[in-house]
Amino acid sequence: MTHTLAWWTRAVRQIGFPILVASALLWLILSGLPGDVIAARSAIAEVQGQMSILRGDLTAYRAETRSDSARLTRIMQQICVNTAQSAEDRRGCFPQ
């Protein structure tokens, strides 16, 4: 009689229903895991590439900001010199 039953009914009879369900769930989880790992690695590589691009953009932005800041400082100093009333005021335009 045992041999006429389906394979899964024999498995339930031998190891029990909870263990069979747990084994099936474990198999499902583990069978999908390699695809998830590959997808995660791909996503990490893409993020690293984007971070590299952003790092380069940030470096260029910092250099441009420093240049703009120096240019604005010179303009403000020139305005200060042009509007100063005395030599003492002009010296104040160039802090040490």
pLDDT in tens, 20-77: 788 888 888 878 778 878 888 999 999 999 999 999 999 999 999 999 999 999 999 9
Burial (CB < 10 A; 0-12, 13-18, 19+), residue 95, is: exposed
Q: How confident is the model at residue 95 (pLDDT cuts 50, 70, 90)?
A: confident
Q: How many CA atoms lie within 13 A of 64 on its CB side?
A: 6
pLDDT of residue 25: 86
Helix (H, G, I), strand (E, B) or coil at 26: helix
Q: What is the pTM of this model?
A: 0.47
pLDDT of residue 45: 93
